[in-house]
Structure 1
Amino acid sequence: MRLVIARCQVDYVGRLTAHLPAARRLLLIKADGSVSIHADDRAYKPLNWMSPPCWLVEGTTDDGEHALWTVTNKAGEELRIRLLEIEHDSSHELGIDPGLQKDGVEAHLQELLAEHVETLGDGYTLVRREFPTAIGPVDLLCRDATGISVAVEIKRRGEIDGVEQLTRYLELLNRDPLLAPVTGVFAAQQIKPQARTLATDRGIRCLTLDYDVLRGTESTEFKLF
């Protein structure tokens, strides 16, 4: 990972245009090729970013006064970062991350869904649990009734982070000619509206899981129907 703290100006050119005026920011360049720009007041969420696969080219502005980074993705969209003053620039080897350890409920949901894979749809079959990728394991890799590969990400609470995680998995899996095309299913006990909207926009199917039904027990909650 490369960390750069700099006074910079950022312009995004693609389906939309966006501009960040000059200010001090943190730039993260990760081993997967992603580039993100962070302020000091927005927790983990970047101000702007480019997800892999993308390519960073370091050059200079036309007048030669400042460094200019151009990040381009496969769609031809660009993130142009003008570095007006660099205060810090360092690289760090983090190694392979073991991945997020799921809590008991998520781990049990994965186990139950693997046992009852037909919950995903008629004709679904399980290929493998914890299917490995370069950025961590996919919860379930399945095939649908037509033989198409399906990556399933399972959460207790379905939020935007989970959709982003599944998106990254799909980008990697679809590079494998033995698996592609790979579609996605985002499965959770509760899925937030924003996460559902993002998933739908990216062609990912959402599935709400009933923990009690998967366990083969009746819920004690009152139901209208």
Structure 2
Amino acid sequence: MRIIVADCSAVYSGRLNASLPLARRVLLIKADSSCLIFSELGSYKPLNWMAAPCTLRELTPSQDDSPDAAAAGAVEDARMEASAEPRPERIIRVNAAKSDDVLTVSLMRIVSDEQYELGADPGLVKDGVEDHLQRYLAQQIERLGEGSTLVRREYPTPIGPVDIMAVDAEGTHVAVEIKRHGGIDGVEQLTRYCELLNRDPLLAPVRGVFAAQTITPQARTLAQDRGFSCLILDYEEMKGTESDALTLF
């Protein structure tokens, strides 16, 4: 990973034309040659970038005689002349491999230029994803109601697996759709499952439960209108983590 802090300007040309005027910014250049430009403000999203697959070249202005200089460099030259910007110390030019897109970054004053070996990354391990919620609910199936029993997780159907199939205390089959954040799309998905399952005389009647950590008011209204129950899942409680909040009793 290469990190450059510099006073720079940039021009992106190709399917989209965009430019960044001169300002101090951070450039991240990765091992795959992708280049991302960040400012002091804003969130995680860069101001401009070129993603892999791409090729990156670092030039001085006198070396910039490449064929694509007419496409990207000439635009930058005209812009600098119009704004009376100084000539750059270095130019970083990144060409997309699958298109004619070019990102040209002109480095006027380099404050810092550091290289770091980060090594292999194991990837993001998420906690509280739908698979975790499904596993805990299957282990704590009584949350669906006293006397409920688990049939199986990932109950197969021709249109995809139902997250949990259970049987309640009265012997009625219960199809459970689990989401982290429950919206209308999740209710529609549960509707399709229940309509299909209720065609099977060995299962019918099948009632639906829409379970999530949060459920939007619109989704709750739609679920109730279709005869489904809504169940809020407290992940921290389900995995046995006690809350630090003080309670009266």
SS in 2 for 1:104: coil
Residue by residue, what CA displacement relative to the aligned partner does 1:41-62 show, whole Å, maximum 9, x if unpaired? Answer: 0121111011111111111224
- Output the CA distance in 1 between the equivalents of 2:156 and 2:102: 40
Matching residue of 1:99: 123
Structure 2 residue ranges without an equivalent (≥5): 65-86, 139-152, 162-178, 194-206, 212-219, 227-249
Q: CA separation in 2, counterparts of 1:31 and 1:78?
A: 18
Judged with a 3 Å threshold, the aligned counterparts in structure 2 of structure 1 residues 30 and 110 are, in CA distance, closer, same or farther, namely: farther
What is the CA–CA distance in structure 2 between the aligned matches of 1:71 and 1:117, rounded to whole Å? 48
* Counterpart for residue 198 of structure 1: none
CA RMSD of superposed structures (Å): 3.6
Identity of aligned residues (%): 41
Give the TM-score normalised by the residue count of structure 1: 0.53
Q: Deviations over 1:68-100 (max 9, x none)?
A: 111011212000000101110011111112211
SS at match of 2:209: coil
Contact 1:25/1:38 (8 A) holds in 2 = yes
The offset of 1:67, in angstroms, is 0.8
Instruction: State the SS of the aligned residue for 1:218.
Output: strand
Q: Could you tell me the TM-score, scaled by structure 2's length?
A: 0.48
Which of 87, 90, 95 is 1:67 aligned to? 90
TM-aligned CA distance change 1:15 to 1:37, over 3 Å = same
Q: Which residue of 1 aligns with 2:225?
A: 224
Indicate the residue corresponding to 1:58 in structure 2: 58
Structure 1 consecutive aligned stretches of length 4 or more whose deviation exceeds 4 Å: 62-65, 109-112, 116-119
* Distance change (3 Å), C-alpha of 1:89 and 1:104: same
Distance 1:60 1:110 in 2: 57
Which secondary structure state, in structure 2, belongs to the residue aligned with residue 98 of structure 1? coil
Residue of structure 2 in register with 1:88 after alignment? 112
Structure 2 counterpart of 1:147: none
Structure 2 CA distance, aligned partners of 1:60 and 1:50? 20
Pick the structure with greater CA Rg: 2
Distance 1:118 1:50 in 2: 42
1:77 correspondence with 2:77: no
Q: Secondary structure at the match of 2:26?
A: strand
Pair 1:51–1:190, CA change in 2 (3 A)? farther
